Amino acid sequence: MTSRDFVCVVKQKMQSLLRIFYKQLILTENNNTQQFIRQLAEREGVSEEKIKEIIMDSFCKSYCKGENIGAELHFEFDSRLLVYRRYKIVSELNDPEKEIAADNKSLKSGQVKDGYFLLPLDVKNLSLSINQEIKDRLRKDVGEIN
């Protein structure tokens, strides 16, 4: 196999991986994210943590720009992928990008966990830009995912 053939095979594999990822993880409501990540990791010969890292990095790169540049994200990989914007709960607000006042009415619209407010993000509306970030990340990490 020539190096050109190898590159073509890797590109095809990445495109296939992206189609599967996009269809099963982003678009499907009732999936089991943990099972999907496990199967994908086994199929690609990498760790589950590596797949999760790619997903998290892709979300961060896609979401944390423009007005969200200072955002901190929290991820939960359960039966569904849940992504939250994370704010520290404080008595006096100093950094509105990373903090929320303890008396803020918005605290009712999310979860409070370990002194942080977790505001759920609409994963479906981010899916197109996230898909591109995942594709870029897979290209970068092609040495590990083959």
Supply the pLDDT for residue 29.
45
Domain boundaries, the chain: 3-140
Residues in the chain, how many?
146
pLDDT digit string (tens) for 39-72? 878 877 888 898 888 888 888 877 888 888 888 9
Torsion of CA 18, 24, 29, 33, to 10 degrees: -100
CB 146 within 8 A of CB 137: no
As a whole number of angstroms, the distance between CA 20 and CA 56 comes to 17
As a whole number of angstroms, the distance between CA 58 and CA 66 comes to 16
Classify domain 3-140 at the CATH topology level. N Utilization Substance Protein A; Chain:P; domain 4 (3.30.1480)
What's this model's pTM, rounded to 2 decimal places? 0.68
